[in-house]
């Protein structure tokens, strides 16, 4: 049963600290997405990779957030320095896209609390 | 105005009831439409795609009205296990030609015994 995995599942940190979230997409999927979910804003797309190349990161605050795919089995999202307003659940999703968008499979999320 | 708008609910219904959710979208160029389901403190999962001709999957029926830019989800014979948040999702075509999904904030359904 192929699944997207994310680590850590929970993270509590203090303001100003660096946070790194990791995602392992489903093997063979060529698209990877990072989302942030809050009660007020719902699911917001932060970054989007296809075949490991970044296609869209317009939803991401560039001054503190960065997203990378060092290889096909690992995607990372970093926040440096973290702020209390970054507290949210961060989901990674992967999928197969053939020009259009197909189903996205979500990981269990990283629940981030910045104090 | 949000690109995808949904009534947040909650919709409180008894078991066996029929309930309908609506969703409107603002981007007339959107071509793909979906309903995702999200259980409390879990990840979203695809419930069903929405086709122009409408489609049915068991107790669930999805409809699309392109002229009104309106999507609906009908759940018949509600079960306790249907309690969840239902996310309306449409695609947005980027200037690059690629597409990304835009999620509504969801409609919460509570089915009671």
Q: What is the pLDDT of residues A87-106, one digit of tens each?
A: 999 999 998 875 555 688 99
What pLDDT is recorded for position A101? 55
pLDDT of residue A114: 97
- Would the CB atoms of A101 and B100 count as touching at under 8 Å? yes
Q: What's the rounded Cα separation, in Å, for the pair A9 and B35?
A: 25
Question: Of the ranges A11-15, B51-55, B74-78, which one carries the lowest mean pLDDT score?
Answer: B51-55
To test the contact with chain B by mutation, choose from A104, A108, A110, A111 the residue with the greatest count of B C-beta atoms within 10 A, namely A104
- A14-67 pLDDT, tens digit per residue, is 999 999 999 999 999 989 999 999 988 889 999 989 888 888 888 898 899 999
Q: Pick A101's closest partner by Cβ from B44, B91, B104.
A: B91
């Amino acid at each position: 049963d192929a699944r997207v995995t994310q680590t850590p599942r929970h993270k509590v940190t203090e303001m100003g600290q660096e946070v790194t979230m990791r995602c392992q997409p489903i093997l063979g999927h060529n698209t990877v997405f990072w989302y942030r979910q809050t009660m007020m804003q719902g699911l917001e797309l932060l970054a989007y990779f296809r075949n490991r190349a970044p296609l869209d990161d317009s939803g991401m605050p560039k001054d503190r957030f960065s997203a990378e795919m060092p290889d096909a089995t690992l995607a990372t999202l970093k926040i440096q320095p973290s702020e209390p307003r970054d507290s949210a659940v961060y989901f990674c999703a992967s999928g197969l896209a053939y020009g259009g968008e197909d189903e996205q499979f979500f990981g269990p999320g990283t629940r981030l609390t910045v104090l | 105005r949000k690109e995808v708008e949904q009534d947040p609910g909650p919709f409180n219904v008894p078991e066996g009831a029929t309930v309908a959710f609506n969703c409107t979208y603002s981007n007339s160029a959107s071509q793909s439409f979906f309903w995702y389901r999200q259980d409390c403190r879990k990840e979203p999962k695809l419930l069903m795609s929405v086709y122009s001709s409408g489609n049915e999957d068991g107790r669930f029926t999805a409809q699309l009205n392109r002229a009104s830019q309106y999507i609906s989800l009908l759940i018949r014979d509600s079960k306790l296990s249907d309690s969840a948040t239902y996310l309306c999702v449409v695609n947005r075509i980027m200037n690059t030609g690629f597409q990304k999904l835009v999620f509504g904030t969801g409609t919460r359904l509570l089915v009671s015994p």
